[in-house]
């Protein structure tokens, strides 16, 4: 028992790997993720330079300024638009890993959004007084709990009553959309509570320059801590370490992305109209020469998505719950034989999906500053597409949280990009998104076959 | 055979039916420490079903299970594990998308501070046990779907022996293995037997049974044909029991 092998298997091919392969091997970066990020950057570049090239071709000459995609304003918008789908996609990963599907998330957004609207507009103000700080807290809690309960009910039907998830959630999609209409007889509820509205983002619903720097620097500290903690565990068990230069590259990359993101969101300044309104309500503000410029910073829904993403990643990679999700997806029978209560797990997974839909409903209704019964329509398809584009396998057992969020970013980039290059009317956009979905899954199949 | 003490396991009068078909029909078997009992019979004879009542995968319709003389209730695989009953299933029951360590500790993960999984500790433990069972095993960081049949088998065996099993159930452990790996499993069975484990071995290969088992229980159509001491009978006797259901004079 003393001669424990402590080295990883030697590479299968004896030939010295090329510099790129060596780089990937030493940094232990996920090649699939690199591919996805590469595709994302390619999409961004294409949308950005399309107007530039089109301008040259139509004889209007070269104008670098005509590219609109890679600008602080658009990237900031993109981040806010992605947050809702991204949050739900992290839950859809678990659902799909366990070989299920949830078609009802859009309708859950609809019904929880409506209930939250009625609660904060019709019920709470008479009880607590208009503008009470408790209103948004109670409203959000009700929305999240309601979402979780609806999800748990779906999970119960699926796990304990043996109805296929496709059918349960297809039924749920119709039932909850109908229920959303009935909650207020189809009326739109507006406006939302002022504090609640901040959760939807917008210039006032953002954390500003200082707040963004704090978030970014905390992120950098976390990156360095993770690298350090990783080294310590490897030492403890005698596993081989990454080379120092690889650790350095990872640290620089991680912190670089974070600081870059802070610079971008801080470069997006409040639009003039909002600044004027702000100055009117804050007469004490001294306006500097050249006008008041206020950095927007990270939007609150984006920070919510980041927190959800981190918590879900911890759940999936560091806890028994996550391990069992993967085990059920890989081999449900083996999971049951290992003593895992697969039915209870299924119920919990759907409940979590419902909870995340509730959070998405908070953001959606806050952003719209209104609750309508159409809130979240077709979201289920974008959420499923995001998870699948992000590498979640419909065959079960495979998927990552960060993949789903990048997938949501890809899907949202396509939609936004089509609008920016002038194909914003629904039909072209849908064609682009649909094509990208099928293409992404096809490319992923090729990748998996090649790396097998 | 010194089968005089309290049996490690006694399954008394077990019956289980699926939709009117009696898969196991009033079968009684027992197992002593340090003993290997072979379970034989055609496909569909009820061997695997009987043994799944012990491993917690099924619940018997009637009958009792006694461990060390005390009556126990086994309602699920978790209960069985609590009685130190470990099973190596014919299908291996591995989650293909997880690596060796995750499979080995599935359902019994090592958790550190705050209830978080300690993957490094699990990998280190897996390396230790694999160094003993299959010293050539190196693929610790890939999903078990990338392993060969023999390597997968050694993961399944490692899972069964790591947690101090007292009762080991092996359902055709060598069905998917080559000659060298089959020999390794045979050596392992001998070693575990010496350590005092009781082993139920479901096996089709009559020679393996003659080599490895102390006693053999033959089943046919859900019923027990008879139990024989392997040393007292010939291959032909056992084959006669399997094929014709003919009970030789030495059988009980």
CATH superfamily, domain at B1-84+165-252: P-loop containing nucleotide triphosphate hydrolases (3.40.50.300)
Q: Are A39 and A403 in contact (CB under 8 A)?
A: no
- Nearest C-alpha neighbor of B52 from the set B69, B27, B77: B77
Q: How confident is the model at residue A149 (pLDDT cuts 50, 70, 90)?
A: very high
- Set of chain B residues whose Cβ sits within 8 Å of the Cβ of A236: 120
Q: What's the structural domain count of chain A?
A: 2
Closest CA to B215 of B196, B203, B228, B205: B228
Same domain? For A291 and A307 the reply is no
Interface touch A236/B120, C-beta < 8 Å: yes
**What crossing angle do the helices spanning B119-133 and B149-162 adopt, rounded to 10°?**
110
Residue A27 in domain: no
Q: What pLDDT, on a 0 to 100 scale, did the predictor assign at position A15?
A: 55
Tell me the ipTM for this assembly: 0.89
Q: At which of A298, A318, A337 does a domain end?
A: A298
User: What residue in B sits closest to A332 (Cα-Cα)?
Assistant: B95
Closest CB from B107, B123, B127 relative to A338: B107
Q: Look at residue A90 in the predicted model and tell me its pLDDT.
A: 98
Give the per-residue pLDDT at A129. Answer: 87
In DSSP terms, B111 is beta-bridged to B117
Indicate if A250 and A334 belong to the same structural domain. Answer: no
Residues A47 and A173 in one domain: yes
Torsion of CA A373, A376, A381, A387, to 10 degrees: -150
Asked, for residue A383, whether it belongs to a domain, the answer is: yes
| pLDDT, position A376 | 93
Our CA-based measurement puts residue B138 at a distance from the nearest CA of chain A, in whole angstroms, of: 6
pLDDT at B135 over 90: no
Give A394 to chain B, closest Cα distance, Å. Answer: 14
Is A25 inside any structural domain? Answer: no
Q: Show contacts of B210-216: CB within 8 Å, 24+ apart.
A: B210/B235, B210/B238, B211/B186, B212/B36, B212/B38, B212/B186, B213/B36, B213/B37, B213/B38, B214/B1, B214/B35, B214/B36, B214/B37, B215/B1, B215/B3, B215/B35, B215/B36, B215/B37, B215/B38, B216/B37, B216/B38, B216/B39, B216/B40
With cut-offs at 50, 70 and 90, classify the pLDDT of residue A2: very low
* Cβ pair B95:A319 closer than 8 A: no
**A283 shares a domain with A312:** no
CA B135: distance to chain centroid? 23
Residue A406 lies in a domain: yes
Contact at CB, B131 and A1, closer than 8 angstroms: yes
Residues of A in contact with B128 (CB under 8 A): 1, 4
- Tokens 């997968």 sit on residue: B152
Tell me how far apart the alpha carbons of residues B144 and A124 are, in angstroms, rounded to a whole number: 55
Q: Which segment of A58-67, B118-127, B144-153 scores lowest on mean pLDDT?
A: A58-67
Domain identity same for A196 and A330: yes
Specify the higher pLDDT residue, A362 or B120. Answer: A362
Angle between helices A342-368 and A133-160 (to 10 degrees): 140
The CA distance from B217 to the nearest CA of chain A, in Å, is 25
The tens digit of pLDDT for each residue in A162-186 reads 999 999 999 999 999 999 999 999 9
Does the pLDDT at position B184 exceed 90? no
Is the CB of A8 less than 8 angstroms away from the CB of B140? yes
Q: Are residues A47 and A129 in the same domain?
A: yes
Same domain, A202 and A293: no
The partner residue sitting opposite B131, judged by closest CB among A5, A330, A340, is A5
Q: Which residues in chain B touch residue A242, judged by CB atoms under 8 angstroms apart?
A: none
Is there a single domain that holds both residue A333 and residue A261? Answer: no
**Tens digits of per-residue pLDDT, A313-337?**
999 999 999 999 999 999 999 999 9
Residues A354 and A420 in one domain: yes
Q: Inter-chain contact B120–A237, Cβ cutoff 8 Å? A: yes
- Residue A84, pLDDT score: 96
Nearest to A139 by CA among A315, A331, A371, A335: A371
Q: What are the φ/ψ torsions at residue B124 (nearest 5 degrees)?
A: -60, -45
Question: How high is the pLDDT of residue A12?
Answer: 43
Say yes or no to pLDDT of B72 above 80: yes
Q: What is the DSSP string of A280-321?
A: HH-TTPPPPTT----B--SBHHHHHHHHHHHHHHHHHHHSHH
Domain ranges of chain B: 1-84+165-252, 98-164
> Of B91, B107, B139, which is closest to A339 when you measure between CB atoms?
B107
- For residue A5, which residues of chain B lie inside 8 Å, CB to CB? 127, 131, 135, 138
**Nearest beta carbon to residue A3 from set B92, B124, B131:** B131
Q: Structural domain of residue A323, as residue ranges?
A: 32-52+66-206+299-451
Measure the CA dihedral B63/B55/A1/B187, to 10°.
Answer: 70
Last residue of a domain, one of A298, A314, A347: A298
**Across the interface, which of B93, B120, B124 has its CB nearest the CB of A334?**
B93
pLDDT tier at A452 (50, 70, 90 boundaries)? low
Residues in chain B within 8 Å Cβ distance of A329: 95, 97
Determine whether the interchain pair A327/B81 forms a contact, defined as Cβ–Cβ distance below 8 Å.
no
Q: Closest to A327 (Cβ–Cβ): which among B55, B98, B124?
A: B98
pLDDT band at residue A10, thresholds of 50, 70 and 90? very low
Q: Given this model, what pLDDT does residue B17 score?
A: 93
The C-alpha atoms of residue A327 and residue B126 are separated, in whole angstroms, by 18
Identify whether residues A220 and A91 lie together within a single domain: no
In the prediction, which pLDDT does B86 show? 93
Q: Which of A260, A281, A298 is the endpoint of a domain?
A: A298
Cβ pairs bridging A and B (under 8 Å)? 98
A16 found inside a domain: no
Q: Is the pLDDT of residue A292 over 80?
A: yes
Q: Which of the two residues, A441 and A101, has the higher pLDDT score?
A: A101
Question: Distance between CA A167 and CA B171 in Å, rounded?
Answer: 37
pTM score, whole prediction:
0.90
On whether residue A21 sits in a domain, the answer given is no
Helix (H) or strand (E) holding A65: none
Q: And the tokens for B196?
A: 């005092």
Q: Are residues A102 and A147 in the same domain?
A: yes
Instruction: Identify whether residues A100 and A211 lie together within a single domain.
Output: no
- The yes-or-no verdict on residue B2 having pLDDT over 80 is no
Answer yes or no: do B120 and A339 touch at CB < 8 A.
no
Given a cut of 80, is residue A289 above it in pLDDT? no
A7 belongs to a structural domain: no
Q: Tell me what pLDDT residue B43 has.
A: 85
> What's the confidence (pLDDT) of residue A6?
41
């Amino acid at each position: 028992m003393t001669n424990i092998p402590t080295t990883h298997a030697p590479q299968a091919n004896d030939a010295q790997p090329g510099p790129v392969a060596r780089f990937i091997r030493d940094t232990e970066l996920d090649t699939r993720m690199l591919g996805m990020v590469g595709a994302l950057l390619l999409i961004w570049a294409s949308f950005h330079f399309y107007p530039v090239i089109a301008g040259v071709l139509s004889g209007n000459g070269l104008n670098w300024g005509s590219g609109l995609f890679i600008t602080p304003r658009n990237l900031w918008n993109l981040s806010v638009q992605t947050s809702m789908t991204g949050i739900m996609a992290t839950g859809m990963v678990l659902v799909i890993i366990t070989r299920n599907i949830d078609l009802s998330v859009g309708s859950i957004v609809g019904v929880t959004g409506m209930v939250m609207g009625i609660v904060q507009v019709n019920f709470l103000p008479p009880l607590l007084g208009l503008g009470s700080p408790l209103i948004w807290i109670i409203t959000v809690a009700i929305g999240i709990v309601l979402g979780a309960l609806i999800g748990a009910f779906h999970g119960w039907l699926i796990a304990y009553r043996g109805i296929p998830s496709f059918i349960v959630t297809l039924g749920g999609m119709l039932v909850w959309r109908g229920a959303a209409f009935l909650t207020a007889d189809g009326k739109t509820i507006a406006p939302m509570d002022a504090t609640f509205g901040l959760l939807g983002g917008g210039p006032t619903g953002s954390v500003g320059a200082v707040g963004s720097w704090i978030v970014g620097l905390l992120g950098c500290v976390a990156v360095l801590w993770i690298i350090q903690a990783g080294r310590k565990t490897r030492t403890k068990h005698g596993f081989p370490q990454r080379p120092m230069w690889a650790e350095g590259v990872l640290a620089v990359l991680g912190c670089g992305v974070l600081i870059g993101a802070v610079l971008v969101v801080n470069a997006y300044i409040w639009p003039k109209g909002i600044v004027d309104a702000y100055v009117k309500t804050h007469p004490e503000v001294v306006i500097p020469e050249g006008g008041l410029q206020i950095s927007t910073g990270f939007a609150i829904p984006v920070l919510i998505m980041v927190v959800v993403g981190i918590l879900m990643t911890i759940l999936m990679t560091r806890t028994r719950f996550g391990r069992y999700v993967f085990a059920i997806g890989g081999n449900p029978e083996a999971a049951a034989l290992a003593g895992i209560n697969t039915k209870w797990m299924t119920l919990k997974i759907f409940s979590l999906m419902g909870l995340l839909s509730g959070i998405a409903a908070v953001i959606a209704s806050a952003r719209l500053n209104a609750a309508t019964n159409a809130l979240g329509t077709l979201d289920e398809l974008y959420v499923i597409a995001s998870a699948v584009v992000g590498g979640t396998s419909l065959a079960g057992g495979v998927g990552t949280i960060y993949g789903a969020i990048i997938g949501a970013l890809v899907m949202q980039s396509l939609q936004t990009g089509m609008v920016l290059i002038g194909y914003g009317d629904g039909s072209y956009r849908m064609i682009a998104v649909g094509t990208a979905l099928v293409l992404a899954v096809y490319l992923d199949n090729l990748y998996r076959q090649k790396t097998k | 055979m010194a089968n005089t003490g309290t049996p490690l396991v006694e399954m008394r009068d077990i019956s289980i039916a699926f939709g009117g078909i009696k898969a196991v029909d009033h079968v009684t078997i027992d197992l002593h420490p340090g003993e290997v009992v072979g379970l034989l019979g055609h496909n569909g004879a009820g061997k695997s079903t009987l043994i799944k009542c012990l491993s917690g995968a099924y619940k018997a319709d009637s009958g009792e299970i006694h461990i060390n003389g005390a009556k126990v209730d086994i309602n699920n695989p978790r209960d069985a594990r609590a009685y130190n009953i470990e099973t190596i299933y014919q299908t291996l029951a591995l989650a293909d998308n997880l690596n060796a360590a995750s499979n080995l500790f599935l359902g019994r993960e090592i958790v550190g501070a705050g209830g978080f999984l300690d993957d490094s500790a699990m990998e280190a433990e897996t390396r230790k046990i694999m160094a003993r069972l299959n010293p050539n095993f190196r693929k610790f960081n890939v999903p078990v779907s990338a392993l060969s049949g023999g390597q997968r088998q050694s993961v399944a065996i490692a899972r069964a022996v790591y947690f101090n099993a007292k009762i080991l159930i092996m359902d055709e452990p060598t069905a998917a293995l080559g000659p060298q790996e089959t020999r390794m499993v045979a050596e392992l069975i001998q070693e575990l037997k010496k350590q005092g484990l009781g082993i139920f071995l479901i096996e089709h290969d009559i020679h393996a049974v003659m080599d490895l088992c102390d006693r053999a229980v033959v089943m046919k159509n859900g019923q027990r044909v008879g139990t024989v001491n392997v040393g007292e009978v010939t291959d032909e006797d056992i084959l006669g029991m399997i094929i014709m259901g003919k009970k030789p004079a030495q059988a009980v």
